[in-house]
Structure 1
């Protein structure tokens, strides 16, 4: 083969045939006035053809002058017309097509004659080759197509589905229909737009058997947070997926909808064990509430009043203080309830310990008894497994809690280790009702030797002598 044929073979392209490539090389040589031979002209053309090629749709960025990629059509919109600025010009036509590959998805806009032709021919499941100009669109990166050609010989491993599951969502997908259970709702927030109008935004958390996602509602769609309560099953229609701070979110604007449906959805919580949490993590944690402090209010720098309530959450691996901010401090939860806190930020806490902060991005999900606790040691809880605080009522509280009971209690009582002990008074919530009784005041635990009849979740005050990290109660009230 000659230089032209060798260069063409290296291209591995279907955009032009070999004969078309030869003609283009001849034109390039003529354009350059003899400054380039066939080999040089062929290499220049090859570079032009390859410019903009991406490995996957996820690599397309708005900064690119042109992008070329292959993808599978996952949805075809309606052909729409619009008036151009030139009143004498014919109406324009546009067709939006959702295209995906294994790396992600993107919206492709076809215009005028190309849009009209595609509206009658393009089908979901077709594989097409696209060349066009990327832009930063309303739903993320979009491509305004210059050329669209069928590519039936290329295989794209993308699932085509009318209804998505949460695990199927990826950044850039639009026209999403998804059914899920409402796990939590947030308050509506307002903001000022650049044009001076007021916008509204709110979040709710949805779950299904494959995971959990934050749904961001805009303007009129924010009414859903007041219409639906946790436990309701809803269908999101015409949503679109965006990324925020590294997390995938499903957005619903005025073109979308969220409606109640009669369907069975099972949310399976997945959380990070408390003992594995590290500073600066953003995590989902789940367990049993062992104790809850009184709600506190404070003044913000802008003069408004804020509020916070601390709870202590325990799972099979340890326990952690969780700070509930704003309206989350008003949630009707208490000792013995099994809950999941999502998107909490792990921060420095009291006495060099870590704690979890549940701010506006976090959700509070109330779980069924037994959803987070197992006491049999098996992967599945046994038929007689105890749940809630009862799961920790056998004298084998997690090691972290037991250590707190010894070290922190001794420090707070300022004991000197003498056999005579130290007189101590301690108030806390009963988190273990058997021998020994264990109390928790939100910052530390105390092992108590007593014959008094106490119940899980009860708040009691004990007074007695602290010896060897255990309080020998003389009075329980």
Structure 2
């Protein structure tokens, strides 16, 4: 039994054998055709045996109805807000955790009373029943009446920071300690109300991988250098252009840390690059192309230039786009070059190429 459905089977292992469970899963997949993958089928089979309790790290915005146990880690104030019909509503949030992670619980209107009266406190444990959705802070669970049941349970909540490899889309309350790989640049943007804001994209790494962190306004102005260690608390994650990123919101904390973080860039040999994935390579410039201009869909003019990079295993074409094109004026044949986070794809005439977009980082040294 693979891990994908094995974790679901563990929830009902005392009621059915693993062999029978797999048979029922395959029957469910066959019955529903392309409408149902193995994981969804496994959850449907498990629910036939009654209420299934999930671990928090298995909860997704698309999961739907969920039941789980967790400990209250924090509570918000009760907030009132005006509705379009002139009435007022109320809302309160709880942060609930177990040993695998945390999730935000949303209570509306009359359900906020236990929070308002101080009847729910940090450290209490509850069985939570509700429905998932994607909220501003990641996955949220909206609880209906009767959806919070206090229980006696010994739950050890996660206290150690997340590793970058553990971060998936739609998580909230993420804490990581990581090394600054690229401090990024502060950029100004215009908000919808016409005011100016600041944004900065920082690349972080640890011993499990790297990830992009977005900082806004005052946080974007932090003095950050490559090699610094940052401790980021209460961040949230999003998937953007096929990659997971984290963002520091209004409730997040970002500060420098003295903790040493081990990070080593994974360099892929050119011969192992395949279309459809992102890579970092290192080698020498063995070909230089001309700069070409093109018109974007919005009418603006972009630029692109091709170079060739070789290592001990092979040679690959690299497309430099827009600001990266400026490097052509400085690079000579034989220059040592390091390129990170470039997308491999099938280019003109089916030739494999690496595309250096705004996420990519390119550094080089002149020939010796």
Are the aligned partners of 2:97 and 2:103 in contact in 1 as well (CA < 8 Å)? yes
Q: Structure 1: 5+ residue runs without aligned partners?
A: 1-11, 13-46, 368-387, 389-455, 459-477
Q: TM-score, normalised by structure 1?
A: 0.53
Cα deviation per residue 1:127-158 (whole Å; 9 max; x = unaligned)? x42112433311233112342235556888x7
Q: Write the distance in 1 (CA, Å) between the matches of 2:353 and 2:179.
A: 28
Q: TM-score, normalised by structure 2?
A: 0.66
Q: Write the distance in 1 (CA, Å) between the matches of 2:350 and 2:48.
A: 59
Are the aligned partners of 1:77 and 1:97 in contact in 2 as well (CA < 8 Å)? yes
Cα 1:329/1:119, change in 2 over 3 Å:
farther
Deviation of 1:240 after TM superposition, in Å, equals 1.1
Q: Write the distance in 1 (CA, Å) between the matches of 2:138 and 2:331.
A: 38
Deviation of 1:48 after TM superposition, in Å, equals 11
Quick one: which of 246, 265, 272 aligns to 1:269? Answer: 265
Cα 1:69/1:338, change in 2 over 3 Å:
farther
Deviation of 1:173 after TM superposition, in Å, equals 3.1
Cα 1:215/1:298, change in 2 over 3 Å:
same
**Higher relative contact order by CA 8 Å / sep ≥ 6: 1 or 2?**
2
Cα deviation per residue 1:335-357 (whole Å; 9 max; x = unaligned)? 55452421x22223456421110
RMSD of equivalent CA atoms = 4.1
User: Does 2:295 correspond to 1:300?
Assistant: yes
Secondary structure in structure 2 of the residue aligned to 1:160: coil
Secondary structure in structure 2 of the residue aligned to 1:275: helix
Deviation of 1:318 after TM superposition, in Å, equals 2.1
Are the aligned partners of 2:287 and 2:309 in contact in 1 as well (CA < 8 Å)? no
Q: Write the distance in 1 (CA, Å) between the matches of 2:240 and 2:70.
A: 26
Are the aligned partners of 1:242 and 1:249 in contact in 2 as well (CA < 8 Å)? yes
Alignment of 1:160-171 (within 5 A): 160-161=159-160, 163-171=161-169
Structure showing the higher strand proportion among its residues: 2
Secondary structure in structure 2 of the residue aligned to 1:118: coil
Deviation of 1:251 after TM superposition, in Å, equals 1.0
Secondary structure in structure 2 of the residue aligned to 1:265: coil
Q: Write the distance in 2 (CA, Å) between the matches of 1:92 and 1:333.
A: 60
Deviation of 1:76 after TM superposition, in Å, equals 1.9
Q: Write the distance in 2 (CA, Å) between the matches of 1:324 and 1:354.
A: 14
| Match of residue 94 from structure 1 | 92
| Match of residue 83 from structure 1 | 80
Quick one: which of 98, 103, 107 aligns to 1:106? Answer: 103
| Match of residue 313 from structure 1 | 309
Alignment of 1:321-336 (within 5 A): 321-330=317-326, 335-336=334-335
Alignment of 1:24-423 (within 5 A): 57=56, 58=58, 60-61=60-61, 64=64, 67-73=65-71, 76-83=73-80, 85=82, 94-99=92-97, 105-110=102-107, 111-115=111-115, 116-122=118-124, 128-146=126-144, 147-150=147-150, 159-161=158-160, 163-184=161-182, 185=184, 188=187, 190=189, 193=192, 201-224=199-222, 227-279=223-275, 281-291=276-286, 293=288, 296=291, 298-301=293-296, 302-330=298-326, 335-337=334-336, 339-342=338-341, 344-349=342-347, 352-360=350-358, 362-364=359-361
Q: Write the distance in 1 (CA, Å) between the matches of 2:150 and 2:171.
A: 21
Q: Write the distance in 2 (CA, Å) between the matches of 1:271 and 1:326.
A: 24
Q: Structure 2: 5+ residue runs without aligned partners?
A: 1-11, 13-46
Secondary structure in structure 2 of the residue aligned to 1:329: helix
Secondary structure in structure 2 of the residue aligned to 1:83: strand
